[in-house]
Structure 1
Amino acid sequence: MKQTHFLSATAAITLAMALGSPGAHAHEIYAGIGTEGVGAGFAYALDDRFNARAEINGFALSRSFTAGDLSYDARATLLHGGLYADWFPAPQTAPFRFVIGALIGDDHVNATATSTNGTYNINGVVVAANGETVTARARYPTVRPYLGIGFGHTPNGKPGFGMYFDAGVTYGRPRVSLNVPDSIAAQVSQANIDAERQELQDKANRLRFYPIVKIGVTYRF
């Protein structure tokens, strides 16, 4: 609920600045790469100190990891949009800006537990896999707030090509689910399954503050 309120406030601030602008200003398209993957966006200069921006970023990554007594093969998929408001405290002096915004999307990790010799070790209890597979999923909230700083996207910049850089952090606690088939769950107590899921949750909680760093090219017209 708090994140929904944050998104509403961000959209309201951006809209208010747009309505307060007496006339059209420069537009900008841009593309970049960073910890969100590859992305592209559009910026609109509201006046000499403020920008409104919208962009989309995404990537997919496969890796293996261990949580508790289980090892997993996982695939992380990040695909989200972003709404941002930029404030330039001294646009005539430097293209430095403060950024507030929100990420909106379905960023998640799907994981499959790897069995050893046809067995799983669930919180210290070795059970037969019986041809079944234990899976897990961690999903970020749909809306996450963002705070950061950056260079570039200057409202009073000249037409043509330029560059930008952003560094910030977004917050959202991933929600973890662990799917244990009935034939496996029958061999181990629910307390052990819950303990294994908590190990996953603890690992996911380390990524509730997700760092965002990106660099890219702009074109102003």
Structure 2
Amino acid sequence: MRSIFLSASLLILPVPPFAILLACGSPAVFAQTPVSPKLFAIEPAVAAFSSSVTTNTTDTETASDKQTPVLTSGAHLVAPTRPFSTVGAAVSVGTLGIGGQVAAPLSQRTNLRVEGNFFSYNSATYTNDGINYTGTLKLRSVEALLDWFPFGGSFRVSPGVQLYSGLSAAANLAVPSGQSFTLNHTSYVSSTSVPVTGNAALTTRTASPMFTFGWGNIAPRHGHISVPLELGFVYQGAPKVSMVLAGKACNPSGLNCRDVATDTGIQSNLAAQQKIVSDDIGQYFRFYPVISIGFGYKF
């Protein structure tokens, strides 16, 4: 009876023979009991399964340690771009002047770009309301922009700020003796003995928001050379104009000449004329246009 029970246990239970031996407590009984050959095939199968699990686990851990590539719009697998991993520089020319730009990547589709521009221009003499203007225009600026490439190509959208604006104009004013001129729609004649002279200045805000868009990546993800084109504007508000006059102004008949710097009536008309000029300029230069083209190289 005990032998029958032992044989049935060996055929049914998926345990090694020595466990049955210990359970029964008699080596002799185990030795006399026939054991199915199928039981001896269990241990090699378990060993093979354990080895497979270990191998798969190791492969999975090894693969997870590797950096996962990113699929770009051009269907190329590339590693993620590390911030400031490279730098590009460019020279440009445009409405802000002659400038230099430096850009570095922040992510796969964004760059941080900083630029500086300068330019000076001496204008020819022009006449407005009988007053001759001879001036100099100066452009000095520093900008910081975030370049975003929404489609992964060369097209970019770039919000930013003009950190410093040195846009200014200065002019010398003169009214030849005996020539008529107008201040706030009031006519005067420049004195023949002490002609009217003066100066004017135009200034803008030091810092202003800006927005541009264009094509070309100064720090390209592939290659080294770029030709950036940029269009947009700087919202600088209405420029401020100041005017100072000296000399003597007479009535239209050339009589009753008065000192321009001290006469309250002339000074009142001069202040009103100054506002008229500021409003006229403000209509066109609240939004200063940005147009530029350049040549860039990534190091």
Q: TM-score, normalised by structure 2?
A: 0.61
Q: What SS is found at the alignment partner of 1:121?
A: strand
When you count helix as a share of all residues, which structure comes out higher?
A: 2
Structure 2: how far apart are the matches of 1:217 and 1:154?
8
Query: Which residue in 2 is equivalent to 1:191?
Result: 268
Fraction of identical pairs, as percent: 25
Where does 1:96-107 land on structure 2 (aligned, <5 Å)? 96-103=155-162, 104-107=164-167
Q: Conserved in 1, the CA contact under 8 Å of 2:260 and 2:266?
A: no
Cα distance, 1:185 vs structure 2: 2.6
Distance 2:82 2:222 in 1: 20
CA, structure 1 residues 150+111, in 2 after alignment: closer, same or farther (shift >3 Å)?
Answer: same
Shift of 1:203: 3.0
Q: 2:171 matched to which residue of 1?
A: 111
1:180 paired residue number: 245
**Higher relative contact order at CA 8 Å, sep ≥6: structure 1 or structure 2?**
1
Q: Which has the larger radius of gyration?
A: 2
Q: 2:155 is matched by which residue type in structure 1? A: F
* Aligned-pair CA distance for 1:154: 5.9
Provide the secondary structure at the position in 1 that maps to 2:271.
helix
Please list the CA deviations of residues 99-143 of structure 1 after superposition, one character each: whole Å capped at 9, or x if unmatched: 111221221000111222366724122243826631110101001
Q: Which structure has the highest strand share of the two?
A: 1
Give the alignment of 1:60-209 within 5 angstroms.
60-63=120-123, 64-91=125-152, 94-103=153-162, 104-117=164-177, 121-123=181-183, 124-128=187-191, 130=194, 133-153=197-217, 156-172=220-236, 173-181=238-246, 183-187=259-263, 188-205=265-282, 206-209=284-287
The one-character-per-residue Cα deviations of 1:77-99 (angstroms, maximum 9, x if unpaired) are 001111111111011xx211111
Read off the aligned partner of 1:193 and give its amino acid letter. Answer: L
What are the residue-to-residue correspondences of 1:1-16 with 2, within 5 Å?
none
Matched, 1:215 2:290: no
| Gaps in structure 1 of 5+ consecutive residues | 1-20
What code does the residue aligned with 2:154 have? Answer: P
Shift of 1:157: 2.7
Give the 3-state SS of the residue equivalent to 1:195 in structure 2. helix
Number of matched pairs: 199
Structure 2 residue aligned with 1:47: 107
> Is the deviation greater in 47-56 or in 124-133?
124-133
Counterpart secondary structure, 1:204: helix
Letter in 2 for 1:199: I
